[in-house]
Structure formats: structure tokens, C-alpha cells
Amino acid sequence: MDHAPTVPPSDRREPGEVFGSGFTLFADMLLVGLLTGVACLPVVTVPAAFAAASATLRDTAGNGAPAGAGVYIGHLRARLTAGTLAAGLIPPLLVVVLLIDTALLRGAIPGAAVVAPALALTALGAAVVGLRATALDAPHRLSAREALVRSVADPRGTLLLVGAVPLAVLLAWSIPPLVPLLPGPLAFAATVVDLRASPDRPQDG
């Protein structure tokens, strides 16, 4: 009697699911988050670190192989270029914008009620576009223009990241020990959004 071939558990995915389920993915995300947090310490390496995290998670989605430190470091080395290091100056500028925003909210500066929310929205928008840029694969790696185009073309995915960024900030403020792990969920969210919106991704039928 012939038996139907069984599909390995790691290949079983629900309709519309990008990554496999289970604790393997959770562990991979935590490991990638920790590695990304360490790689972000020089500050100017933030774009390359997040891009490496997304590439590592993208590999996990593609072949189901667990993410490892060696895989992440390989992606990080490939993305540490003069261009990505220059782009690494943007995160500190965003922090400055947020500090100015906070000062306006606390002060009695004329127009603070209008300028402060505008600065906050600008910083949030830049963070979302930046996350989408780090999740892009070749030939659009770290392209701010392509990230902006996809942010506009995929409002649902953009709204998901709009919610993820403030949540990460809130967690970092309320539970500081989680800070080294937060890059993992952020990179994961950006990667999932990009994979789901990718025109090259086969549709579930």
C-alpha cells in the first residue's frame, strides 16, 4: 500500500505565512536581535546591522535553515561599506530631532503645538522608511528611494511598521533590559512586510 509522502514539519506553513512556525523562529529572532544590538554599538553601523539582520531572516524564510552567528556576520561584512557607514549618521540625527521635539513640548515656545507633532511624525516616517530600506534585497539594497516607493504602495505594511516603531520605543523605555533584543523584532517585522509585498513572491493558492 502506497503512502503519501509526508512533508517535514519545518516546511509546513499556513496560507500566507512567510516563515515557519515554532520556537526555532523565535530563537532565531532573539539571536539575530542580540547580534544586531551588538553590531549597532558603533552607531554608524546601524543600517548595515539591520540590513544584515534582514538578510539573515530572509535566508531563514527561503531555505528554512536556522540563523547562525556566522551567517549574520557574513551578511554584516558584505554590507559594511562607505555608503552604509555614511547612512549611519541618520539615526543620531533622528535622536536629535526627538530631543528637540521633547524640548518644544516642555517649553513655551510659540508654535510648539504645531512643530512638535510635525517633528515626531517626521522622525517616525524616517524610521519606517529606514526599516523598509534595510529589508530590501538586491538590486535595491538600502535604497531610500525604493523604500519610500514601497511605503506608499503598501500602506498596510507601512502601518504595521508605524505601530512597531513606537512599541519598540515604549518597551525600551519601560523595560531597559530588553533593548539589546529589540532590533530582532524590528528587523523581523520589516522583513515580513517586504516579503509579503514583494511582487516576486508566489501567491498562495
For 15-21, the CB contacts below 8 A with 24+ separation are: 15/204, 16/196, 16/204, 18/61, 18/192, 18/195, 18/196, 19/57, 19/60, 19/61, 19/192, 20/64
CB atoms within 10 A of CB 36: 29
Question: Of 79, 37, 44, which is closest to residue 181 (Cα–Cα)?
Answer: 37
Confidence of residue 195 (pLDDT cuts 50, 70, 90): confident
**Separation CA 198–CA 153 (nearest Å):** 11
pLDDT at 17 over 70: no
Position with higher pLDDT, 31 vs 68: 31
Position with higher pLDDT, 138 vs 42: 42
For 86-113, b/e burial (b = at least 16 CB within 10 A) is ebbebbeeeeeebeebeebeeeeeeebe
Task: Write down the mean pLDDT value for the chain.
Answer: 79
pTM, full prediction: 0.77
pLDDT at 7 over 70: no
Question: Of 182, 162, 167, which is closest to residue 122 (Cα–Cα)?
Answer: 162
**pLDDT score recorded for residue 50:** 93
Average pLDDT over residues 149-155: 90
**Separation CA 140–CA 147 (nearest Å):** 9
Region of 17 (left: φ > 0; alpha: ψ -120 to 50; beta: rest) is beta
Confidence of residue 65 (pLDDT cuts 50, 70, 90): low
